Amino acid sequence: MELTDRDLLSIQTVRHLIREAKAAQQELATFSQEQIDAIVAAIAQAGRDNARQLGKMAQEETSFGRADDKTVKNQFAAQMVHQYIRDMKTVGVIKEDHEKKVMEIAVPMGVIAALIPSTNPTSTVIYKALIALKAGNAIVFSPHPSARRCILETVGILREAAVQAGCPAGAIGCMELLTMESTQELLKHPDVALILATGGTAMVKAAYSSGNPAIGVGPGNGPAFIERTADIPMAVKRILDSKTFDNGTVCASEQSIVTEECIQDQVIAELTRQGAYFLDEVSKKKVASVLMRENGTMNPQVVGRPPQVVAQLAGIEIPPGTRVLVAHETKVGAKYPFSKEKLCPVLAFYTESDWKTACKRCIEILHHEGVGHTMMIHSSDEEVIREFALKKPVSRLLVNTPGALGGIGATTGLIPSLTLGCGAIGGSSSSDNIGPEHLINIRRVGYGLRELEDLQPASTPLDCARQEALVQAILKAVMEKLNV
């Protein structure tokens, strides 16, 4: 009976959070742009001030990644995301087209339900709070159970800062009693306007099947192609910087390297020089055995762990200072774990005869897993880059930049974001990096420009044949009249 009572209590708690959020959002909807911006600025400042503390807390609680890198992600969310959205118009009239006489008005969606993953817990809370409140919405967070404490701490810090800036207290809420029933209640509640789903595939699918609108993201599995014209040392540096950032927990990080036969030896030598360790066949099999569970899903014991821990789990010895484990691979599929997404410093390595076969290999990898997400290319040949851009089934093609940081907009001009849409091909409702513009509805006001008469087809001139026939008929009638 105790378990049942706990389930019922968790459901009631969610209903209370949503009720408070709805009331708070109705108040937020009356706020000016200046009031909203002051609240958002306070949230961002709180995120920056507590970035290190929250990063350390997230790493200690989850054991994923590195505290310093989690601090960087917190700072990215609190600073770069805020810089991008700071001057964005999200209240009242946001656009007017005087020529077409159309006016656009921003309308908040309402209550946002936000699923938070264990891999990027604190930074995702900061980011989602910023974009939701900027759009005039309230937000209720659903933490991953293994990151509950650091997520609750982050929400508490942001809520306090927001309230001090004039925000209604219920506008930022968080589930504390976590059960499957409470999560389902949040996802399916009729007062939830939109679900922002960042997490595992099962959770994202649950969001899309909830009956409420949802923006979710699919798994990443981005290959990085090193083309023959690339600056090989820089390409390798960027790939390793990305794959070791927070021990590979960012979904846009590289999962495979694909290169051309003519530069294979140079790429291998450079990878080795920069700290990659190539597994022999025996070691490869041992590492493969710990990457995935029997059901084909990722083994949580390797997620966000350094290569030394992965090697220890696999029972192999690796050189001191190893940054990434690399395995030669020639196949793609469920039987080949290295061809799948690996949220740890492990990479597959493919060699192809030229860029055209490399292009096919990248497409094969993506269609196996990660379609619609992200891939990287390192090249100075604009024609090849353009061909990859035209052919690859991804929402982001990143050129000469680290995948983990380029995908989220930290080292590129893309929208700074920690929710990366995968488009229809990847099962997402958007292919964008998600921002406040995705969390508002647009009410359009259109003035009349034409009347019904203006829409009716004008009388068309008679064609030549009909004109000639008419002339002949008139002439005949005249001639008969004159008895000619």
Return the active site residues. Answer: 251
Contacts of 24 (CB under 8 A, 6+ apart): 138, 167, 168, 169, 170, 171
CA–CA gap between residue 414 and residue 398 (Å, rounded) = 10
- Phi then psi for residue 292, to 5 deg, are -125, 155
CA–CA gap between residue 121 and residue 482 (Å, rounded) = 100
Radius of gyration of the chain (CA): 29
Tokens for 201, please give them: 């595939």
Put the strands of the sheet holding 92-97 in their side by side order: 92-97, 102-108, 440-446
Angle at 55 between CA 51 and CA 56, to 5 degrees: 120
Q: Where are the alpha helices (DSSP H) in 63-221?
A: 67-75, 81-85, 121-134, 148-164, 180-188, 201-208
CA–CA gap between residue 390 and residue 385 (Å, rounded) = 9
CA–CA gap between residue 425 and residue 11 (Å, rounded) = 34
Coil, helix or strand for 197?
strand
Coil, helix or strand for 256?
strand
How far is CA 348 from each of CA 144, 225, 341, 390, rounded to the nearest angstrom? Answer: 29, 12, 10, 24
